[in-house]
Chains A and B, each alone.
Chain A
Amino acid sequence: MKKVFLEGAISPEFIADSIAKHQGKHSIGAHNIFLGQVRADEVGDNKVVAIEYTTYEEMANEKLHEIREAAFEKFNLTCLHIYHSLGKVGVGEICIFVFVSSPRRKQVYEATEWLVNQVKEHVPIFGKEILDNADHQWKVNS
């Protein structure tokens, strides 16, 4: 089982390091990366300052495994990585990192979008949006 969940924000150093780790894989000709960043949404007179993520980890890991398997069936990929934050992630910080690699360019665009959609729709992750007045509301993917 590949590790997906990381505590807190995903750092730029972690992302850079993930790219560097692929330099030895010489069949790869194209990478594509999606980074989701926490947005300061306005809620009435208030603003979102952070999202606190929780998950149903056993089910999420099973679902993520199915999504990975399906992606390798569907697209010609050399490798793929999905990382998602748990706990508090502040506005401007990265909460999801999807990294897709293939011999050629065309498939990586499609695969990245498909993977992000699958994670949003099917993986049990919950987000508590913390507002600047310390109140909160629960995020719902639209």
Chain B
Amino acid sequence: MITVNYFGNIAEATQSDSETLDQKSMSLEELLNLLDSKYDIRKFQFQVAVNRKIIPKQQVLTISDSDEVALLPPFAGG
């Protein structure tokens, strides 16, 4: 299972804070394409965190079982 967490305006679009995908492994590109087909996420500005570390969206990376992915809109602390 791959967990995907949503925040801010993206959580609004997905109508959920988090979901689990029944996948053992997929590339980051495949994951983003899947989420885009479901929620049209490319219209939002966001960064990707994998296991709580921000990584470039274009990075060639395999997301595996038990990884935690998060889509982070622009930060607004303070």
Residues of B contacting A123 with CB < 8 Å? Answer: 75, 77
**Least Cβ–Cβ distance between B52 and chain A, in angstroms:** 4
Contact indicator A126/B78 (Cβ below 8 Å) = no
Whether, in the assembled complex, B64 has its beta carbon less than 8 Å from a beta carbon of chain A, the answer is no
* Bound-state Cα–Cα, A120 to B72, Å: 14
Q: A56-B72, A59-B52 are in contact. Are A124 and B7 (CB under 8 A)?
A: yes
- CB-defined contacts of A141 to chain B, threshold 8 Å: 74-78
**B9 close to chain A: CB less than 8 A:** yes
Secondary structure class of chain B's binding surface, majority of residues: loop
B8 in contact with A126 (CB, 8 Å):
yes
Q: How many A-B residue pairs have CB under 8 A?
A: 63
Q: How large is the interface on A (under 10, 10 to 19, 20 to 34, 35 or more residues)?
A: 20 to 34
Instruction: Check if B70 is an interface residue, CB within 8 A of chain A.
Output: yes
What are the 7 tightest A-B residue pairs by CB atom distance, in nearest-first order? A125-B77, A127-B76, A126-B8, A139-B76, A59-B52, A140-B74, A120-B78
B49 within 8 A of A: yes
Let me know if A56 and B7 touch, CB within 8 A: yes
**Contacting residues, chain B, for A128 (C-beta < 8 A):** 8
Tell me the residues in window 112-142 of chain A with beta carbons closer than 8 Å to chain B beta carbons.
116, 119-128, 138-141
In the assembly, what is the distance between CA of A96 and CA of B52, in Å?
23
In the complex, what residues of B have CB within 8 A of residue A140's CB? 74, 76
Compute how far the CA of A128 lies from the CA of B8 in the bound complex, rounded to whole angstroms: 7
Give which listed residue, B49, B76, B77, contacts A138 with CB less than 8 A: B76
Contact call B77/A56, Cβ cutoff below 8 A: no
